[in-house]
């Protein structure tokens, strides 16, 4: 099983005629995602370079395609309104890839999204979400999959469906870092594990789903055996999540916190990755997570082996 999306999910792309939108729409199509159309105001009635129908509004796209998910590649000044347009059209899973949305816009968006309990936001400034499909042919980037769904910019071929995993186990991945998401996926795949769903939640200070909502979903998923959580400096989300996990999650959780060498007051890459106080540091978050029973890795290189150990998987035999 999985959370939020699966092989039956129908997806549109807002900003489908832009360079990034068209490129990543093709990547999702190649993976096997049911991409059913896109939205670019003023270009309704045309077809994009992937021969998908283009609509002027999300509402028109939903009526014509029955889409329930969207990925947003709209430029930053307009991306906040694009999120709200998707929610207003009844889209259930809104995945905003766009980076650089003004914080004030996201404050307004988060408040307005309270009016749409049927919609969830992933991102912004994130790599997206993927529920792996079963490999049917090929290896590496040319591999073909079926029954999965990739929304966003993640490299699909490094993911492993539960039925393809030698251990027969699958983990859920939650990460503020895009590249460390891929690292966790690669390591768990190499060590014989699959992934139920992987969610890149993004590195902005104001964002959608986070380290409490997603562990709750994974904990309720009967085919997610463990959870990999990747955080970073800035804010208190990870420590708050550790407290919640201790009280509510029955599955093993492995975590890594990036930014141990970051100086206070200096933003490190992501808009939300800035140390504002003693509790924002990587070490403080690691200490808090350990206190709450989470398996904390000192290095991202240990994410896979830590999860394998927690699940009782022999690392040496898994690699061989």
Beta bridge partners of 71: 13, 95
Q: CB atoms < 10 A from the CB of 251, how many?
A: 17
Instruction: Report CA-CA distances (Å) from 1 to 68, 79, 179, 197.
Output: 18, 31, 25, 9
What is the C-alpha to C-alpha distance for residues 18 and 74, in angstroms, rounded to an integer? Answer: 8
What is the C-alpha to C-alpha distance for residues 198 and 211, in angstroms, rounded to an integer? Answer: 13
Beta bridge partners of 94: 70, 121
Active site residues per annotation:
270
For 135-186, give the DSSP string.
Answer: EEE-SGGG-EEES-EEEES--GGG---GGG-TTS-EEEEEES-HHHHHHHHH
């Amino acid at each position: 099983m999985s959370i939020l999306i699966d092989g039956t999910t129908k997806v549109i792309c807002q900003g489908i005629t832009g360079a990034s939108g068209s490129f990543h729409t093709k990547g999702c199509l190649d993976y096997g995602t049911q991409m059913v159309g896109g939205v670019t105001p003023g270009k309704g009635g045309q077809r994009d370079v992937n021969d998908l129908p283009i609509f002027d509004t999300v509402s028109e796209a939903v009526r014509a395609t029955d889409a329930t998910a969207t990925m947003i590649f709209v430029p930053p000044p307009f991306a906040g309104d694009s999120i709200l347009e998707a929610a207003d059209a009844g889209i259930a899973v809104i995945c905003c890839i766009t980076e650089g949305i003004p914080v004030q816009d996201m404050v307004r968006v988060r408040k307005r999204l309270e009016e749409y309990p049927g919609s969830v936001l992933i991102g912004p400034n994130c790599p997206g979400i993927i529920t792996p499909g079963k490999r049917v042919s090929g290896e590496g980037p040319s591999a073909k999959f079926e029954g999965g769904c990739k929304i966003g910019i993640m490299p699909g071929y490094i993911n492993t469906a539960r039925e393809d995993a030698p251990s027969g186990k699958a983990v859920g991945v939650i990460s503020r870092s895009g590249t460390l998401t891929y690292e966790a996926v690669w390591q768990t795949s190499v060590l014989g594990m699959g992934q139920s769903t992987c969610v890149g939640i993004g590195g902005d200070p104001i964002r959608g789903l986070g380290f409490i909502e997603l562990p709750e979903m994974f904990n309720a998923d009967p085919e997610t055996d463990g959870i990999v959580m990747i955080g970073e400096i800035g804010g208190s989300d990870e420590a708050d999540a550790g407290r919640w996990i201790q009280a509510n999650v029955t599955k093993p959780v492995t975590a890594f916190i990036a930014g141990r060498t970051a100086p206070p007051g200096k933003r490190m890459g992501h808009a939300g990755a800035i140390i504002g106080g003693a509790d924002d540091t990587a070490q403080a978050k690691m200490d808090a997570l350990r206190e709450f029973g989470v398996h904390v890795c000192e290095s991202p290189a240990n994410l896979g082996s830590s999860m394998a150990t927690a699940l009782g998987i022999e690392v040496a035999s898994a690699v061989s």
